[in-house]
């Protein structure tokens, strides 16, 4: 049996078909060679976005369009790019849009910024005529019931390529979701209705598979961990973290043992993400496992396998989306509003995304986790200073998923020293008003805090995934 390529490692498969009206070729002999060179340049640039490009070639009529459509259908593309090199009829791309099952992006990239009007003849003009069929394609796609999206520019137009790259990266996200295996281990934190997830809704909205796990799946693997394994994990922890004097060596050793068990759990079940919670009682093994997962979950998250506490499956998916966009994504909730400084303080006493920390993360010993059973070590840091995006995945009454996002800025200032991943986020407006709008958006208790302004990328992800996006506005101070 062929081993599965982990979804988080899989490159998006992007189909490419270029075309123009075949009636032109005998009339203007130099036109087709020029357009083929442009198509080769587009294929080269697309590969630079770390995508696997399936080139279906250059089509000149509806029959060749149908052949290209079948090739792209068999390839199982995540996105198909149709390059309008000159005028072409809608019949040439209609089968591509209808048969592949993949979203289609049309690009109109003329050779240079503008024509040389004084010297151009009709054949040279036609190389700049990719805009001509674009309204025709849009109207046809509407009547076919196919979503329309396009990018217009010129071959070396970096603004256009930035937009094209955004669609390719979004296709990478939807590929991860569609091919992903998402672990759900333990049980719901008692009383959290908002966190409760109908498992069918994950593949219904996003694709992928939810693997239901028992805490005993972790227990048996943790019991098999050797002392040598623990020492190796402790060495890794000391390399990554500063250790506060409050850390008990026995608690740290236990967290390291659980971390090794988590690594094996993820490998054995071939997971791309994990959400977990277990309460436990009276200090027994399951309670200690639940309390000992923060170290290992943080290390997993930092290497691209997000792990979220409190059974927050939709938040682990939001973290996966942010991570695939290169923005990290740390497990987060509201902590307090600071009206004096105009910031919202958010974070969690749980796993954090170590790769987006402002400073070297700290391990702090805790005698108790607020609202949870157990004790041990927790991660303390703040997300890197600068632009950030809060990203949640909400569920409406009818079961539909919706991305929810808001852009802010992490700013310096005093932080609690209680083993939390606290960040001070300025949304450019009154913290209370932002909090009300954020809560009214339908976001759940938790979300991902990601680095950078990724709202444009999230708009593309929502489009390709066929889900909505609610943008909670920031203030004018953020531009």
Question: Is 282 in the same domain as 416?
Answer: yes
Question: Is 193 in the same domain as 156?
Answer: no
Question: Is 171 in the same domain as 186?
Answer: no
Across the chain, mean pLDDT equals 94
pLDDT tens digits along 245-268: 999 999 999 999 999 999 999 999
Give the residue from 122, 154, 177 where a domain finishes: 177
pLDDT value of position 351: 84
Flag whether 1 is in a domain.
no
Mean pLDDT, residues 286-295:
92
pLDDT value of position 101: 86
Question: Is 243 in the same domain as 379?
Answer: yes
Beta bridge partners of residue 284, listed in sequence order: none
Mean pLDDT, residues 159-181:
97
Question: Is 345 in the same domain as 442?
Answer: yes
Beta bridge partners of residue 59, listed in sequence order: 19
Give the pLDDT band (50/70/90) at residue 197.
confident
Flag whether 323 is in a domain.
yes
Question: Is 188 in the same domain as 237?
Answer: yes
Residues 471, 443: contact at Cβ < 8 Å? no
pLDDT value of position 477: 67
Q: What is the CATH number of the domain that holds 321?
A: 3.20.14
Question: Is 380 in the same domain as 259?
Answer: yes
Count of domains for the chain: 2
Which range of 5-14, 172-181, 192-201, 347-356 scores highest in mean pLDDT? It is 172-181
pLDDT value of position 418: 85
pLDDT surpassing 80 at residue 371:
no
Range of 328's domain? 180-478
Residues 469, 389: contact at Cβ < 8 Å? no
Q: What percent of the chain has pLDDT over 90?
A: 87
Q: What is the CATH number of the domain that holds 167?
A: 3.40.50.10940
Flag whether 366 is in a domain.
yes
Question: Is 318 in the same domain as 390?
Answer: yes
Beta strands in 281-422 (DSSP E): 307-308, 328-338, 343-347, 362-366, 376-380, 386-395, 401-410
Flag whether 82 is in a domain.
yes
pLDDT surpassing 60 at residue 30:
yes
Give the pLDDT band (50/70/90) at residue 275.
very high
**417 vs 161 pLDDT, higher one:** 161
Instruction: Using CB atoms within 10 Å of the CB of residue 284, give its burial: 0 to 12 exposed, 13 to 18 middle, 19+ buried.
Output: exposed
End-to-end CA distance of the chain: 53
Flag whether 2 is in a domain.
no
Give the residue from 114, 142, 177 where a domain finishes: 177
What's the chain's Rg over C-alpha atoms? 25
Give the pLDDT band (50/70/90) at residue 374.
low
pTM of structure: 0.94
Question: Is 266 in the same domain as 144?
Answer: no
Give the residue from 143, 158, 177 where a domain finishes: 177
Question: Is 438 in the same domain as 449?
Answer: yes
pLDDT value of position 1: 41
Mean pLDDT, residues 231-245:
96
Question: Is 390 in the same domain as 268?
Answer: yes
Flag whether 127 is in a domain.
yes
Flag whether 270 is in a domain.
yes
Mean pLDDT, residues 48-74:
96
Mean pLDDT, residues 93-98:
95
Flag whether 299 is in a domain.
yes
Mean pLDDT, residues 367-395:
84
Question: Is 17 in the same domain as 145?
Answer: yes
Rounded alpha-carbon distances, angstroms, from residue 292 to 224, 285, 295, 415: 16, 10, 7, 24
Residues 377, 247: contact at Cβ < 8 Å? yes
């Amino acid at each position: 049996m062929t081993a599965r390529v982990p979804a988080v490692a899989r490159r998006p498969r992007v189909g490419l078909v270029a075309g123009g009206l075949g009636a032109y070729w005998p009339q203007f002999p130099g036109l087709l060679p020029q357009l083929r060179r442009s198509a080769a340049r587009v294929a080269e640039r697309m590969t630079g976005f770390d995508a696997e490009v399936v080139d279906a070639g250059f089509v000149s009529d509806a029959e060749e369009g149908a052949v290209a459509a079948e090739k792209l259908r068999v390839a199982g593309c995540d996105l198909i790019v149709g390059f309008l090199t000159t005028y072409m009829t809608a019949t040439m791309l209609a089968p591509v849009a209808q048969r592949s099952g993949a979203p289609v992006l049309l690009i109109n990239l003329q050779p240079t910024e503008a024509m040389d009007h004084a010297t151009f003849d009709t054949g040279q003009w036609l190389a700049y005529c990719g805009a001509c069929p674009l309204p025709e394609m849009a109207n046809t796609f509407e009547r076919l019931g196919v979503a329309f999206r396009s990018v217009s520019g010129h071959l070396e137009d970096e603004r256009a390529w930035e937009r094209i790259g955004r669609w390719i990266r979004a296709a990478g996200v939807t590929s991860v979701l569609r091919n992903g295996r998402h672990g759900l281990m333990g049980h719901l934190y008692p009383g959290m209705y908002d966190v409760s997830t109908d498992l069918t809704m994950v593949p219904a909205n996003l694709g992928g598979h939810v693997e239901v796990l028992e805490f005993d799946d972790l227990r048996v693997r943790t019991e098999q961990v050797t002392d040598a394994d623990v020492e190796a994990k402790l060495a890794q922890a000391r390399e990554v973290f500063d250790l506060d004097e409050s850390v008990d060596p026995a608690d740290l050793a236990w967290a390291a043992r659980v971390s090794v068990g988590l690594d094996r759990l993820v490998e054995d079940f071939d997971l791309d993400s994990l959400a977990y919670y277990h309460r436990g009682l009276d200090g027994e093994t399951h309670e200690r496992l639940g309390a000992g997962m923060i170290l290992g979950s943080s290390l997993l998250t930092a290497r691209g396998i997000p792990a979220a506490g409190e059974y927050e499956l939709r938040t682990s998916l939001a973290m996966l989306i942010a991570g695939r966009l290169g923005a990290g994504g740390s497990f987060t909730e509201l902590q307090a509003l600071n009206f004096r400084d105009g910031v919202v303080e958010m974070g969690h006493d749980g796993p954090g995304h170590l790769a987006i920390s402002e400073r070297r993360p700290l391990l702090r010993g805790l005698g108790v986790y607020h609202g949870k059973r157990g004790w041990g070590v927790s991660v303390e840091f703040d997300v890197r200073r600068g632009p950030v995006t809060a990203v949640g995945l909400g569920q409406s009454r009818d079961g539909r998923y919706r991305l929810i996002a808001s852009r802010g800025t992490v700013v310096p200032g005093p932080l609690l020293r209680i083993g939390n991943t606290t960040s001070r986020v300025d949304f450019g407006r009154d913290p209370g008003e932002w909090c009300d709008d954020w809560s009214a958006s339908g976001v759940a208790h938790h979300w991902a805090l990601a680095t950078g302004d990724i709202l444009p990328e999230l708009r593309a992800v929502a489009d390709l995934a066929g889900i909505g996006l609610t943008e909670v506005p920031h203030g004018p101070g953020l531009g």
